[in-house]
Structure 1
Amino acid sequence: MKKSIYVLFIAAILLFTAACGSTEENEGSSDVEKENTSPETITVKHELDETEVPKNPQKVVVFDFGILDTLDKLGVNVAGVPQSGTIPSYLEKYASDEYENVGGLKEPDFEKIAEINPDLIIISGRQAELYDQFSEIAPTIHLGVDTTRYMDSFKENMNMVGDIFDKQEEIESGLADIDESIAALHEKASASDKNALIILANDDKIGAYGTNSRFGLIHDVFGVKPVDESIEASTHGMNVSFEYVMEQDPDLLYVIDRGAVVGGESSAKQLVENQLVENTKAFKNDNIYYLDPEYWYLSGGGLQSVAEMVKEIDATIK
């Protein structure tokens, strides 16, 4: 009898020891699983740096309206946008209280951004000088468009967005549609004998844009012939007078009204259609076109904006 009790006692000890070993083994497995389920990241090479970015970031702060335009089309959640300024009307929902106000395009509210504790911050040219300050808060990438290589730069940005947010198929589809519409426009513009001049109306001044400039894709990508091949490429445009416009005498005159989106008042028509411009073929043939400044000035480089830019120019080539 005593021997039986002793055997049972030893068996119980062995079972207890095995159970403890199993528990420790399971706990070890859990630790391994936790390590394996750490957030996946992607390395983004951009104009300012090389940044490790989490895949599918949940809290995103966006300072570029072209990228915001794209994320909106893709249905990606955005946490904060610069509401202290003009937001394109087609993106007006981002001016609501549902989204955090992170300041202005040139004056970010770093305190608010830190409070949001974003997973990713996306900036472009207007914020480039503040890159280091953004990077101290969260991974930051620069996705501005290089206007000297507009479409290549635009597509690189779109593909990067697709990789970060697992939206490659949607990006490929959107870019394919844009490529198709550009090909049709380019064929039509190349066959036309019409030339064009692009100007930005800014208060009482005008600046001209040619190839490789901010709005140069009208010539470089869409195929519309420039009236003047010697316009200096610059962000703000080459300063010109209305005498210059009259002397160039373009068939088509494209006008982008900065005041309509920055100052809230459109005065370009009154400024541009003066006695000097009345002598041009563009005026006489009713070929002065006021392009939508929201797409061209505020949110260029987005899936929606670029598609609309193509449509606008296509409608002017007859």
Structure 2
Amino acid sequence: MKKLKTLVALGLTIATLGIVTGCSNGASENNTKEETRTVESVKGKVEIPADPKKIVDISGSSEELVLLGHTPVATANVDSYETNKVPSYIEDKLGNAKVVGHSMMETMDIEGILAAEPDLIIMAPRQEKIYDQLKEIAPVVMLEDKSNDWEAKFKDVATLFGQEEQAQKWLNDYYKKAQKLGEEIKSDNGEKTYLTVLASSGQFMVFTEGGIGTVLKDDMKLPQPKNMPKQDSITLPTVTMEGLTEIDADHIIVIATESDKADLEKSTVWKEIRAVKDGNATILDASPYFSQAYNPIGRELLLQSIKDEVVK
């Protein structure tokens, strides 16, 4: 009888251990199961990880991701003139990210994206042709193409992660800084007009409503000349050297490659432009200054650079 009781007790103990172990395994499985959430994209609703750890961004939104605390493992945010690497001003934040293409191009390094083992891929409509391939690698969110509206792009990325308030705080701080530095420039230089252009083989693309031009005009509230060429699309209007004379800005900021700088040095017309004769011409390197204004980190860094260059 005593032996029977011992066997029954042993059996109950084993059964109890089995139940506990079973519950423990179930809880473990539930805890390790990745949480997801559903977001809206150009392609409709997409289920993505609630907290993605390995993001590949080919949409051109890598700076926005960094500001929101999501540094990508692979990127297509590259220097416009050295497309095999990220811009120098953000190397300290994006330097470890693998470059898998140029965000303004239609195709990417698919093998490089695959090797990054992403749990989320962010892309733009211009890369539509590789959408199906990317879907086989990881969940894909296609954002609207707002490459010429840096603020709207930033807000879209923030919405994807539910971080709208964080993005808005950054924007508020940015605009306060821009206006403060703009006021300091006007205090030092007076009410001068400012023209920003990209030198291109003897001609000049004018940043009337785009790029660095909007940093000065919209953010820093610095006046433009009255004779600015109209810009009806995202394409920058182009003028000749004589066209610069007709615009007649008090201060000219030129973004130029080394060869374009050499052309300016040799030009007799350039030397006769009023702003140049008055010592109010600033020449910036094409790399990285051309693309900086289209991205938030680069745009913020431009504020102090502009003040340092135009206030002597």
Per the alignment, residue 246 of structure 2 pairs with 247
TM-score calculated relative to the size of structure 2: 0.73
Determine the C-alpha separation between the residues in 2 that align with 1:139 and 1:301: 27
What root-mean-square deviation, in Å, do the aligned CA atoms of Structure 1 and Structure 2 show? 4.0
Per the alignment, residue 89 of structure 1 pairs with 88
Per the alignment, residue 73 of structure 2 pairs with 79
Per the alignment, residue 211 of structure 2 pairs with 214
Determine the C-alpha separation between the residues in 1 that align with 2:271 and 2:145: 35
Cα deviation for residue 248 of structure 1 reads 0.9
Give the counterpart letter for 1:180 in structure 2: K
Aligned pair count reads 299
After superposition, where does 1:262-273 map in structure 2 within 5 Å? Answer: 266-272=258-264
What per-residue deviation string (whole Å, max 9, x for no partner) do you get for residues 22-67 of structure 1? 5235413532442244223455545665544324433333346662
Which of 35, 51, 59 does residue 54 from structure 2 map onto?
59
Per the alignment, residue 119 of structure 1 pairs with 119
SS of 1:315's partner is: helix
Determine the C-alpha separation between the residues in 2 that align with 1:187 and 1:128: 44
Determine the C-alpha separation between the residues in 1 that align with 2:154 and 2:300: 12
SS of 2:56's partner is: strand
Q: Is the 8 A contact 1:114 1:137 kept in 2?
A: yes
Determine the C-alpha separation between the residues in 1 that align with 2:285 and 2:123: 23
Per the alignment, residue 263 of structure 1 pairs with none
Distance change (3 Å), C-alpha of 1:186 and 1:64? farther
Instruction: Give ranges in structure 1 of 5+ residues lacking alignment.
Output: 261-265
Distance change (3 Å), C-alpha of 1:137 and 1:204? farther
Per the alignment, residue 275 of structure 2 pairs with 282
Cα deviation for residue 100 of structure 1 reads 4.1
Distance change (3 Å), C-alpha of 1:315 and 1:140? farther
SS of 1:267's partner is: helix
Which of 13, 19, 22 does residue 14 from structure 2 map onto?
19
Q: Is the 8 A contact 1:78 1:99 kept in 2?
A: yes
Q: Is the 8 A contact 2:85 2:99 kept in 1?
A: no
Instruction: Give ranges in structure 2 of 5+ residues lacking alignment.
Output: none
Q: Is the 8 A contact 1:154 1:301 kept in 2?
A: no
Residue range with higher mean Cα deviation, 235-244 or 297-306: 297-306
Determine the C-alpha separation between the residues in 2 that align with 1:99 and 1:308: 21
What percentage of residue pairs aligned between the two structures are identical? 23
Determine the C-alpha separation between the residues in 1 that align with 2:182 and 2:273: 25
After superposition, where does 1:145-184 map in structure 2 within 5 Å? Answer: 146=146, 149-154=149-154, 156-157=156-157, 163=163, 175=171, 177-184=173-180
Give the counterpart letter for 1:297 in structure 2: F
SS of 2:242's partner is: helix
Cα deviation for residue 182 of structure 1 reads 1.2
Residue range with higher mean Cα deviation, 267-276 or 126-135: 126-135
Give the counterpart letter for 1:214 in structure 2: G
What per-residue deviation string (whole Å, max 9, x for no partner) do you get for residues 135-160 of structure 1? 44223345688466543543554675
SS of 1:34's partner is: helix
SS of 1:187's partner is: helix
Determine the C-alpha separation between the residues in 1 that align with 2:291 and 2:126: 11
Per the alignment, residue 193 of structure 2 pairs with 195
Residue range with higher mean Cα deviation, 142-151 or 279-288: 142-151
TM-score calculated relative to the size of structure 1: 0.72
**1:313 equivalent in alignment to 2:306:** yes
Determine the C-alpha separation between the residues in 1 that align with 2:41 and 2:277: 46
